[in-house]
Structure 1
Amino acid sequence: MDAEHRESLEAGTSPDLSAEDRALGMDQPISRRDFMNGMAYTAAALAAQGALPWSRAGATSLPSSSPLSSTGLTGQTDKANGIMHAVRDGLLKPTAGASTGEVFDLVVVGAGISGLAAAHEFRRLNPAARILLLDPLADVGGHASRNEFQVGGKTLIGYGGSQSLQTPSYFSPAVRGVLSSVGIEPKKFEGYYDGAWYDKRGLGAGIYFSRAVYGQAATVRETDTAAGWVNKTPLNAQAKRDLIELIDAPRDYLKGLSTAEKRARLAQTTYREFLLKLAKVDPQLVTYFQDSTREYFGSGIDVVSALDAWANGNPGFEGMNLGDQPDAAMSPSGRLIATDPDEYIYHFPDGNASVARLLVRSLIPASLPGKTMEDSVRARLNYGQLDVKGKPVRIRLNSTAVRVRHLGSPATARQVEVTYADAAGMHSVVAGRVVLACWHRVIPYLTAELGEAQIRALRDQVKVPLVYTNVVLRNFEALSRLKLSGVTSPGHFWIGAEIDFPVSMGGYSFAQKASDPVILHLRRIPGGKPGDEAREQFNTGRAELTRLTFADYERQTRNLLGGALSGAGFDPARDIAAITVNRWAHGYAYEYMRPDDAFWPGGPLPITAARRGWGRIAIANSDSGAYAYAHSAIDQGVRAARELLGVTAGPAISDFPGPPRTKLDFFKR
């Protein structure tokens, strides 16, 4: 969306909008936060060799107050990604840059949760260490992003990325130690999360069938049995019968095989193939289930195996005698791990952004007032305190590392030079040690010191693109009338929309009355052509994500909510107060999947070769664990810090991918 059109929307005008857009409220003066479209920023800025994407004319200073509620760019913007895209495309050749004269004991490339955890562990082991963290984004935390809104005199806080501390039972001693040291006590969420909030209001999960996909629009509230709701849907008659069977009374679709043989067969069969070739359901159910695995694996049922779909909670397996642990996965060591033994309640109002903020507080106490996890919720992060000369730990935002090299042979060098680019040009600092807490695929562009085998292993990780959109409703009266906590929307642009987590803590109170404003969370994980390998689909989805404008996302948002809630008097032109689109072109770490990854789970795993450090450089990020969870990011950060210092003792870490994602309690409402 260009600046002129954005301004006209903010002003409540836009003569070029269609009647349909006006009915959806595309001309309403709401709070909009969007992205620069496509790759135009990088292309224009780097039209000629040597032209830099950080000209003084376009530079913006880091605010001393929070950027969280300002309009403009959010997430991984083209501006933030543009420098490394230019390096990747050969349009920018990194040089040493002007030396800042700074010397640090540790430089961390990346100020996400893994980078912050690495700095935290390094400083625990070496309290006098001088540390610099560099990050291209305008905020700390990486994907752990916080959104704030002012609506009706109330402050609403939402999450724009990394969502929750999932399954504390899986946390390693190292993760527990890090969280405890910054004041996070997971057990307290049992009091902060209102588990009865939905039941007290009679709210449950619903499904929205759009007219464009099913020929007839309908919003249906789920009941305990499929027979109680499926016949109210616009599915065709055979699809209804097949769906009821799959959910309520599935047959043994591999009758005659042993349990082990069934598991092996399902591991080599996609869920799409399971539906069509084994269960022999109506093809309309392929459309219905296509995106059902996407939130947890990043891919649709054309890629995810039937065995993983079973662990994900997809129906059709209860009659197949697959064993006593239907929610179990095998670790590389051969140990069975039960999936999600804990309730899905360990959530700050801003998701894992609070984990990042508390790590920052531990490193730079002056940046965030308070001493507890509760008082951090409403506290304002002072960005002016992040990079203060003379302080032992500094975080330099809007700064993209472009080159890392040992000053001498990696085997004998005593220092590493790190070059980064910011609004003023290229600069170099010197470090005793370096942690690369950036994405795996970036690392080969930063250094010429790696062998081809490690480069191939690093490139195996392809980030899952995702879009997390927060929509503030002036009230949730329409949802209350429909008795819905949210909807999934099979076949629609958005996977679904749900009321945010009912968490009240630290003086922050979740909505209580239907007349209160509330945040709805919408998700999209764009993919590619069904049947393509998962990594290729992620690349195709990333291209879509960067091509679409904010107006495209807004239109689809209003279309979903206007359609799903229309039966309760919801008016998208009147009832939407704000929209923030958090677009992550390079989102979550890729988790190994059957049947594409033949090496999983037995190994050897590409991450083992990829994350190997060299000289005075170590690698830490969620890619290093091939596991897109905050506790894995912390484990990898701790591991990297210990590697650099040659420390083998200390609380144990988990260094293998965990079980596959499963259907979360949060989305079962």
Structure 2
Amino acid sequence: MNWTDEDKRLGMDKPISRRDFLDGLAFTVGGALAMRAFKPGAAQAQANSGTTAYPPGIAGLRGQTDAAQNVMHTVRDDAYWENAGAITPTGEHYDLVVVGAGISGLTAAYIYRQQAGPDKRVLVIDPLDDFGGHAKRNEYIASNGQKIVGYGGSQSIDTPSFFSPAVHKLISDVGIDLNRFETWFNQKWRDQRGLSNKALFFFSEQWGKDKLVIRTKDTAAWVAQTPLNDKAKADLIKLIDAPADYLPGLTREEKLQKLSDITYKQFLLDFVRADPQLVELYQITTMGYFGVGIDGTSALDAWTNGSPGFGGMDLGDSVHKNMAPSGRVNFAGPDEYIHHFPEGNAGIARALVRGLIPAALPGATMEEISTGTLDYAKLDLPGHPVRIRLNSTVVKVAHDGSPESAERVTVTYAGEGGKPLTVTGNHVVLACWNRVIPYLTDELSEEQVTALNDQQKVALIYTNVLIRNWEAFDKLKIDRFSARGNFWSGASIDFPVSVGDYRFTDKPSDPVVLHLTKVFAPPADTARDQFLAGRRELYSLTFEEMERSIRDMLNRALGAGGFDAARDIEAITCNRWAHGYAYEYMRPWDAYWPDGPLPIITARKPWGRIAIANADSGAYAYAHSAMDQGIRAVRDLLGTPEGAPDYSRYPGPPLEKLGL
């Protein structure tokens, strides 16, 4: 590689823990052997050879890699079967075959055996090299020898007060006690160290100069430090401190309706008549929750998200334990945001796997969910009642005969080298993305195919950067910063969670993981169009481009605190989720929301011996929705067991609004 002087200044030539996305290396569990990245379907062969890779320890480009998606892309493009060769039956038969090892699929496998009997044999198949779907664990060994764990996808167990009784029971059954997070998560960590979480960094490419500004209660004082023009500064101060009634003459109900029919961008420009720089300032602030910027988020949802400008409009209380007025869940919920494993919701996935295959993750305590080393060689062992087969892409699902009378289903997947293999099952749960399902079967009606294709997932990257210390943050007295005018939305020190012997960083001289995100939602006519364009943009990027932008951003934002990317960065993992968040219905694009009819009701209809379970099925990008849908799918196959928790009433979004 011919590095430029600027590349060398950023440390692109340094031997950190990175893996090129075309030539990946995987660490073994013992750390002694490095091997080439898996080919599709190689998981069982690797297990048999005794050289099973340890996916959490792989850095570089992770998540939905090219290797994980290539087979399904050839299916999509009608190219797979041209070169696949003859289908080879494995002779394996299961009571249940689950397509997808994300939280929905693992939930379905667990609930099926819980309801149908512990003697039932289950196979879970997934194209990724790790289970959990978007719930991804990233592990590092820092230069001081300390193990550091971060989350590379699904973040936290969000708002348990919204959970159904069935989800609460499942979480308890797999050994998770939500009360434990009250001591695991140090809610005083930031304040104990005098750090602010209100920093904004303006980048010169958009704002004319690089500038770090810490927001305070004195709005006029911090706004004065920004590189905004004079009118934008005055408009921002008024928007925050003295917002007017921008919809005079309307009743509260009429205001709420109007705000649901316009975007927050329209609200700022056409009703507040704010300087356009405020649109630039707030554009990305809604992406973390809604997957789109303020040009795709309704003004009503922006209000429930805490965006400024609504205080003078007499809209009522936006903090509910039910639904936001638009029908979207209100994110100012009743629970503290503390229910977080060090690996995020990969902790839920690991707990489910421990319940399915106890030998893979020994132990019975909640601490061991995070601190234990999972043995991937035990996931797919012949003769075991539950098997999880990774690096394997399902390419076809078909009943053996008419769906109405068939006694089993044949599932075809791409084995090693992409060759088609088959297994059979009494039942099948499709816990993959909605848009994949029409490519797997020709047994669906045109109406259901259309409904399945309605889901257009949000593209994003969750990145972890291991740094040798956080002294620069300490000197600047911040624990994070939001970026304005950069590729990334900013960077933050990971959540302060300690579990058993695993301790979160205490001193600025300790190593720590930084978390960075990028949501891809370029301007387009509708939210769905933005998501499609965003996925195409994401696929065009190389890991090298991502790494260079990370180093440049951190150097510029933290340089005043002494940060040097070439010296301080020890590892980088970019978790690519081209098919990321489930699409959540939103105004103004989905005028039928929340009253319906909702496309998900048609999309998730079971047929014959096949049911559907995924976050798409709930149009809700949260772990508890994924679990709810896995539970529902099993009930579609087996019926609702006597004495099961009532699925229709619980404190949170009314399930009848979601069709549950």
| Pair 1:117-2:107 in alignment | yes
Q: Which runs of 5+ in 1 are unaligned?
A: 6-15, 38-52, 661-669
For 2:196, the aligned partner's letter is G
Q: Can you list the C-alpha shifts for 1:68-109, whole angstroms capped at 9, x where unaligned? A: 213465211111111110000011127882111111000000
Judged with a 3 Å threshold, the aligned counterparts in structure 2 of structure 1 residues 657 and 96 are, in CA distance, closer, same or farther, namely: farther
The within-5 A match list for 1:282-361 is 282-326=275-319, 330=323, 339-361=332-354
Partner of 1:239: 232
Provide the rounded CA distance (Å) in 2 between the counterparts of 1:239 and 1:507.
Answer: 50
* Corresponding residue of 1:461: 455
Does the Cα contact within 8 Å between 2:139 and 2:149 map onto a contact in 1? yes
Q: Check if 1:486 corresponds to 2:469.
A: no
Q: Percent identity?
A: 56
Distance 1:187 1:310, change over 3 A: same
Residue matched to 1:160:
152
Task: Tell me the SS of whatever aligns to 2:310.
Answer: coil
Relative distance call for 1:477 and 1:571 in structure 2 (3 A) is same
- Of 563, 579, 592 in structure 1, the residue corresponding to residue 585 of structure 2 is 592
Q: Distance in 2 between matches of 1:638 and 1:58?
A: 27
Matched, 1:199 2:191: yes
SS of aligned partner of 1:548: coil
Q: 1:79 aligns with which of 49, 67, 84?
A: 67
- Counterpart residue number, 1:61: 46
Matched, 1:625 2:621: no
Matched-pair contact (CA < 8 Å) for 1:310–1:326: no
Q: 1:183 aligns with which of 159, 167, 175?
A: 175
Q: Report what 1:41 is aligned to.
A: none
Q: Deviations over 1:193-248 (max 9, x none)?
A: 00000000011120000111100111111212422311111111111111111112
**What is the distance in 2 between the residues matched to 1:168 and 1:59?**
37
Indicate conservation of the 8 Å contact 1:110/1:438, yes or no: yes
The answer as to 2:263 corresponding to 1:270 is yes
State the distance in 2 between where 1:107 and 1:332 align. Answer: 40
Report how far residue 339 of structure 1 moved: 4.3
For 1:505, the aligned partner's letter is: V
Kindly report which structure 2 residues correspond to 1:150-549, keeping only aligned pairs within 5 A, or say none: 150-151=141-142, 152-205=144-197, 206-326=199-319, 330=323, 339-424=332-417, 425-528=419-522, 530-549=523-542
Question: Matches of 2:597 and 2:62 in 1, distance apart?
Answer: 38
Matched with 1:141 is 132
- Do the aligned partners of residues 421 and 239 (structure 1) sit closer, same or farther apart at CA in structure 2, a change above 3 Å counting? same
Tell me the distance in 2 between the aligned counterparts of 1:448 and 1:300. 37
Q: Which moves more between the two structures, 116-125 or 20-29?
A: 20-29
**Change in 2 beyond 3 A, CA 1:68/1:492:** same
- Cα distance in 1 between the residues matched to 2:466 and 2:392: 32
Structure 1 residues 276 and 450: CA distance shift in structure 2, 3 A: same
For 1:355 and 1:597, locate their aligned partners in 2 and report how far apart those are by CA, in whole Å.
32
Q: In structure 1, what is the Cα distance between the partners aligned to 2:512 and 2:189?
A: 13
Q: 1:57 to 1:180 in 2, by over 3 A?
A: closer
Q: SS of 1:164's equivalent?
A: coil
Distance 1:72 1:196, change over 3 A: closer
Which letter maps to 1:162?
S
Alignment CA distance shift 1:348-1:422 (3 Å): same
| 2:109 and 2:122 in contact (8 A); partners too | yes
Native 8 Å contact 1:220 1:232 kept in 2: yes
Q: Which residue of 2 aligns with 1:45?
A: none
Q: Deviations over 1:605-654 (max 9, x none)?
A: 10011001000000000000000111110010011011101225412336
Instruction: Classify 1:204/1:596 alpha carbon distance in 2 versus 1 (closer, same or farther; 3 Å).
Output: same
Equivalent residue for 2:33?
none
Q: CA deviation at 1:325?
A: 3.1
Comparing 445-454 and 93-102, the one that deviates more: 93-102
Residue 551 of structure 1 deviates from its aligned partner by 1.0
- What does the per-residue CA deviation read over 1:359-395, in whole Å, with 9 as the maximum and x for residues that have no partner? 0010001000111111221211111111111111111
Aligned residues of 1:625 and 1:657 also touching (Cα < 8 A): no
CA RMSD of aligned residues (A): 2.4
Q: Give me the whole-angstrom Cα distance separating, in 1, the residues matched to 2:338 and 2:561.
A: 29
Please say if residues 58 and 138 of structure 2, whose CA atoms lie closer than 8 Å, have aligned partners that are also in contact.
no
Taking the aligned partners of 2:137 and 2:257, their CA distance within structure 1 comes to 42
CA offsets 1:383-408 (integer angstroms, 9 cap, x no match):
11111111111110011111001001
Asked if the contact 2:322–2:651 (Cα under 8 Å) also holds between the matched residues in 1, the reply is: no
Alpha-carbon offset, residue 331 of structure 1: 7.8
Q: SS at the partner of 1:653?
A: coil
Q: CA deviation at 1:57?
A: 11
In structure 2, distance between residues paired with 1:328 and 1:239: 35
| Change in 2 beyond 3 A, CA 1:78/1:647 | same
**Which residue in the other structure is 1:32 paired with?**
18
The answer as to whether partners of 1:466 and 1:587 remain within 8 angstroms in 2 is: yes
What SS does structure 2 have at the residue aligned with 1:204?
coil
Q: What is the rounded CA distance, in whole Å, between the counterparts of 2:372 and 2:530 in structure 1?
A: 40
What's the secondary structure of 1:565's corresponding residue?
Answer: helix
Quote the Cα distance in structure 1 between the aligned partners of 2:139 and 2:329. Answer: 41
| Distance in structure 1 (CA, Å) of the matches to 2:211 and 2:646 | 51
Task: Provide the C-alpha distance between the structure 2 equivalents of 1:31 and 1:654, rounded to a whole number of angstroms.
Answer: 48
Structure 2 stretches lacking a partner, 5+ long: 24-37, 655-660
Alignment deviations for residues 410-468 of structure 1 (CA, whole Å, 9 cap, x no partner): 01111000001121411111100000000000000000000000000000001111101
SS of aligned partner of 1:74: strand
Question: What's the CA shift string for 1:515-558, capped at 9, x where partnerless?
Answer: 00111100001122x24211111111111111111111111111
Q: Taking structure 1 as reference, are residues 331 and 282 closer, same or farther at Cα in structure 2, changes over 3 Å only?
A: closer
How many Å separate the matches in 2 of 1:96 and 1:416? 19
Equivalent in the alignment of 1:47: none
Structure 1 pair 511/534, CA: closer, same or farther in 2 (3 Å)?
A: same
User: CA separation of 1:627/1:270 partners in 2, compared to 1, >3 Å: closer, same or farther?
Assistant: same
1:97 and 2:90 correspond: no
Contact 2:301 2:326 in 1 (8 A): no
Change (3 A) 1:485 1:338: closer
Question: Counterparts of 1:66 and 1:557 in 2: how far apart (Å)?
Answer: 25
Give the deviation of 1:18 after TM superposition.
2.3
Q: Does structure 1 conserve the Cα–Cα contact (< 8 Å) formed by 2:260 and 2:301?
A: yes
Are positions 1:19 and 2:5 aligned together? yes
- CA distance in 2 between counterparts of 1:267 and 1:329 reads 17
Distance 1:80 1:214, change over 3 A: same
Deviation at 1:327, TM superposition (A): 5.6
